[in-house]
Amino acid sequence: MVTADALGPPHLTWNVVADVRELLRFPFMQNAYLAGTIVAVTAGVVGYFMVLRGQTFAGHALSQVGFPGAAGAALLGVAPVFGVIAFCVTVAVAIALIPGRRSHEASFESAVIGSILAFALALGFLFTTLSNGFVTGAYAFLFGTFVGIGNTEVLTLLVTGVLIGTTLVIIGRRLFFASVDTDAAEARGVAVRTLATIYLLVLALAVAAAAQITGTLLVFALLVAPAATAQELSTRPGRTLGLSIVIALLVTWLGLASAYFSDYPIGFYVTTIAFVFYVLARARRALLG
């Protein structure tokens, strides 16, 4: 009997059931799907608020500082994930210290975030130079990988996801109010600045978690594209949030399957599929007027 191993690398067939069995045949792919599911749900929820609040540039900056964080951690001989978390949280706090987010202050906020991002990337290049080349551990965090995701990583992502979800359940209504109308929220006594700081810390944790699947360079796509696509499909807050989660799940699951049956990194597929969904949503909206 000819086994799949004897046939060489895995390849797609016309038998969907056989392909799914092949996809989930190995424990590392089972863990990858568990981890990917947790990351997708987290990114779908956090990304919804990120797009709603108009903080996509802040999310972009947090995703990019994962690179110097991973490189610095690898240089020190510790797991890159700790460096990613440290840099993301530090930058989130720095962004939170920027004065209020009124419309006339938006350009100032963007300039400060851009300056922080430039400095962080410079540190990343320094760390890779000091390590005498590209750090292997940091490479996986740049472009994403589903290999090497063990039970410990899945458990860590689950704990992080539960922490993020619990926090957003507690502050969700007030955060939504403050995101839609900051002035009215302040007039009603909502602690807008405190909510903004808490959300940025939640966003930082979500970026660090998602980076383990998609990579720091492409994690931004999983955060913004599903949420942006959902907003093209619906204007109702609850439905939009649900669609954001569903689309993030589809993007992640399809990305994992595509990467498994090919030689290209998962980050490429996640980004491409997410972009295709967004383009289709925009085309649907244009056709419907």
Report d(CA 210, CA 81) in Å as an integer.
11
Question: Assign residue 79 a region: left if phi > 0, alpha if psi is -120 to 50, beta otherwise?
Answer: beta
Report yes or no on 66 lying in a domain.
yes
> Which domain covers residue 39, as residue numbers?
26-283
Is residue 223 within 8 Å of 206, Cβ to Cβ? yes
Would you write out the chain's pLDDT as a tens digit for each of its 289 residues? 344 444 456 777 777 788 788 888 888 888 889 988 999 999 999 999 999 988 888 888 888 888 888 888 888 888 777 888 899 999 999 888 876 555 445 566 788 888 888 998 898 888 878 877 555 555 566 666 666 677 888 888 899 899 999 999 999 999 999 988 888 888 888 888 899 999 999 999 898 888 777 776 677 788 999 999 999 999 899 999 999 999 999 999 999 898 888 888 787 888 899 999 999 999 998 888 7
Residue 14 falls inside a structural domain: no
CA distance 92 to 63: 11
pLDDT in the model for residue 190: 87
pLDDT, residue 3, reads: 41
For the chain, the domain total comes to 1
Domain assignment present for 17: no
pLDDT at site 145:
67
Looking at the chain, list the stretches that DSSP marks H as alpha helix, in order from N- to C-terminal side: 16-23, 27-52, 56-64, 66-76, 80-96, 106-130, 136-143, 151-180, 182-187, 192-214, 219-233, 237-260, 266-288
CB-based contact 249:257 (threshold 8 Å): no
Q: Residue 6 domain-assigned?
A: no
Does residue 13 belong to any structural domain of this protein? Answer: no
Other CB atoms within 10 A of residue 212 CB: 27
The count of other CB atoms within 10 Å of the CB of residue 222 is 33
The values of phi and psi at residue 72, to 5°, are -65, -40
CATH number, residue 140: 1.10.3470.10
pTM of this structure: 0.84
Is 9 domain-assigned? no
Q: Could you tell me if residue 269 is inside a domain?
A: yes
* Residue 91 near residue 218 (C-beta atoms within 8 A): no
Contact 160, 201 (CB under 8 A): no
- Say if 15 falls within a structural domain: no
Rg (the chain; Cα; Å): 20
Whether the CB-CB separation of 85 and 76 falls below 8 Å is answered with: no
pLDDT at 66: 81
Per-residue model confidence (pLDDT) at position 183: 85
Ramachandran assignment for 132, one of left (phi > 0), alpha (psi -120 to 50 degrees), beta (any other)? left
Predicted pLDDT of residue 1:
38
